[in-house]
Amino acid sequence: MNSFRTPGGVTLGIEHFGDATAPLVLLAGGTTMLSWPDSLCEALARGGAHVVRYDLRDSGTSTTADPEAPDYTLRDLAADAAALARGLDDRPAHLAGIGVGGMVAQVAALDHPDAFSALTVVATRPVAPGPVDDDLPDHDGAAMERLFAVPMPDWSDRAAVAEFAAASAEVLGTDPADARENAGRVFDRTPSAEPSVHLANQLGMVFSKLDCTPRWRERLPELALPTLVVHGRRDLFFPVGNGEALAREIAGARLLVLDDAANAIPDAAADEVAAAMLAL
């Protein structure tokens, strides 16, 4: 099975690793499932988990919205996660989210606590895109200036999209070669009839579509799930203070700081992150 249709009619692209009878670890992409490296998925599966990574709406092979009139919010993406968890296993799942997927995971755990048994959030923050709280470090200004100076590609041109991803990764301190390869894989999974809309939507979702009311940060102390917060010491997009704040807000949360990482999980850290997740 490489897709799942929610009761609300949303199609989510999914990929399985490991034994389908093992406890479910559900990985929310940020935005596509390929935000989660193969090495981590394989390490979790070796550790005895049934791993399913999936594309958020507007990415990969999942449902695409009208870019001029998005019809969902972050809370809807959280409901997708709960529907997927319930549809794949009758036991609560360990939910993990990276980047935007980390925001989805926080809201999902708060809104649908019965669907989840543990929570991992990676390279994210406790507020939706937009203005941030005074105590949360904002995006690195110099890096953002350089990032937004990278020319937008022709989204229908695979090579151009891959080079755009590599240039953006170099600004943010992640491996350009890995980003180039990953972008090519994302492109290849994008429906061929609409690559320019689907790929551009992934960027637009992050900046304009993820409204979430009411705020969820003040509810984080309600979470009773074992929680792991993973953050890269060199993250320029969501500086590490955001992960530190999350770990403070969630009672009993463990903070794992990856000294040599930015806003992606390097292959070299996959075993360490997998072990920490499985320990929950």
Q: How confident is the model at residue 203 (pLDDT cuts 50, 70, 90)?
A: low
Please report, for the domain that includes residue 38, its CATH number. Answer: 3.40.50.1820
Contacts for 27 with CB less than 8 Å, ≥ 6 apart: 33, 36, 41, 51, 52, 53, 54, 96, 97, 98, 101
The Cα–Cα gap between 56 and 53 comes to: 10
> How many domains are there within the chain?
1
Listed in order, strand segments (DSSP E) in 108-191 are 116-122
Calculate mean pLDDT across residues 91-105.
96
Q: Which two tokens stand for residue 242?
A: 């955001």
pLDDT-wise least confident of 143-147, 177-181, 211-215:
211-215
Least Cα distance to 199 among 164, 156, 230 occurs for 156
Backbone angles phi, psi at 231, to 5 degrees: -150, 145
Q: Are 139 and 236 in contact (CB under 8 A)?
A: yes
Domain-located, residue 187: no
Place of tokens 């304009």: 208
Domain-located, residue 212: yes
Domain-located, residue 185: no
Least Cα distance to 104 among 87, 89, 120, 88 occurs for 120
Domain-located, residue 155: no
Place of tokens 């320990």: 279
pLDDT-wise least confident of 55-69, 71-85, 97-111:
55-69
The Cα–Cα gap between 141 and 186 comes to: 28
Give the domain extent around 218: 3-139+192-278
Indicate the angle between helix axes 158-172 and 141-149, nearest 10 degrees.
Answer: 160
Domain-located, residue 163: no
Domain-located, residue 205: yes
Q: What per-residue confidence (pLDDT) applies to 204?
A: 52
Over 90: is that where the pLDDT of 73 sits?
Answer: no
Q: What is the pLDDT of residues 21-59, one digit of tens each?
A: 999 999 999 889 999 999 999 999 999 999 999 999 888
Contacts for 272 with CB less than 8 Å, ≥ 6 apart: 256, 258
Backbone angles phi, psi at 205, to 5 degrees: -60, -45
Least Cα distance to 101 among 123, 83, 85, 84 occurs for 123
Q: What is the pLDDT of residues 118-172, one digit of tens each?
A: 999 999 999 987 788 999 999 999 999 999 999 988 888 899 989 999 999 999 9
Domain-located, residue 148: no
Q: Half-sphere exposure (CA, 13 Å, Cβ side) for 193?
A: 2
